[in-house]
Amino acid sequence: MSLSPLRHALREALSRLAEGKDSAHDVAHADRVWAHASTIAHGEGVERSRALLCAAYLHDLVTLPKDHPKRARAATMSAQAAGPVMEALGLTAKEIAQARHAIEAHSFSGGVEPQTIDARILRDADRLEALGAIGIARCFAVSGALNRPLFDPDDPFAVDRKPDDQLWALDHFAVKLLQLPKTFLTGTGRQLAEQRAARMRHYLSDLASELSVPPPDW
C-alpha cells in the first residue's frame, strides 16, 4: 500500500481509536505532525517512509493526562498498541519495528533516544506542535483541562518567584516550551522551531503590554 491510501486508512483507524481524546491529541494533531514530518524529511533530503507515516499517525494512540503517574510510559504504551494496527494494514515486521521505535522515542518524558532518521524526524515534528501559534493554543487547552489558571496575577512572568507550570499555565513557556528549540535533532526542524519560538515571544510581549508589565526575558 502506497503512502496516500495508507494515510487514508490510518486516519480512519485513528478516528475510531481516538474517540473522546482531548483536542491537543486528536486526528487534526496527527495530520499536522505528518505535515511537519514531510517538511522536515524534504529539508533533510530523506524519502518519506511508510514507517514514518504510521508513526506520525499512531504516536499518541495512548494519551494520559500530564499529571498521570504513568505519563512517562504513554509513548511505550502507544508503540505497543500501534503494532496490531500496522499489522492489519499490511506493514512488514521491519516497518512495524521501525515505526514502534520512532513512537517510543518521540516522547519528551519517555527517556528513549532516537536511533534512526525516522525517529529523529518524528520527534522534531511532534515538538513543533508545542511551538508557535498552535503551541500557544495547545498549551492553554491542556492547562484548561487540568483546571490550571492562566497565570499568577501578582507575578505573571515569574520575576520574583520560581516558574511552576504545575500551578500556572503561562509558566510552561519558561519551564519547557521555549527550551524546546535546542533539543531538536535535525537542522530543518531546528530552523522551524526557532521561527515558532520567536512567534511565542512576540505573543508574550503583547501579553505583557496588555498587563502593563515588562516583557519576560524567556
For residue range 97-148, list pLDDT tens digits in order: 999 999 999 987 778 899 999 999 999 999 999 999 999 999 999 999 889 9
For residue range 36-95, list pLDDT tens digits in order: 999 999 999 999 999 999 999 999 988 776 666 566 678 899 999 999 999 999 999 999
Q: What are the counts of helices (DSSP H) followed by strands (DSSP E) for the chain?
A: 9, 0
Three-state DSSP class for residue 104: helix
DSSP output for 54-74:
HHHHHTTSS---TT-TTGGGH
Fold match, 3-118 / 132-211: no
Instruction: Give the position of cell 521501525.
Output: 98
Q: Which fold has domain 3-118?
A: Hypothetical protein af1432 (1.10.3210)
Q: Are 65 and 73 in contact (CB under 8 A)?
A: no
As to burial, measured by CB atoms within 10 angstroms (0-12 exposed, 13-18 middle, 19+ buried), residue 210 is exposed
Would you kindly state where each structural domain of the chain is located, as residue ranges?
3-118, 132-211
Answer whether CATH 2.60.40.420 is correct for domain 132-211.
no
Q: Are 127 and 180 in contact (CB under 8 A)?
A: yes
What integer pLDDT is reported at residue 109 of this predicted model? 72
Rounded to an integer, the average pLDDT of 187-204 is 98
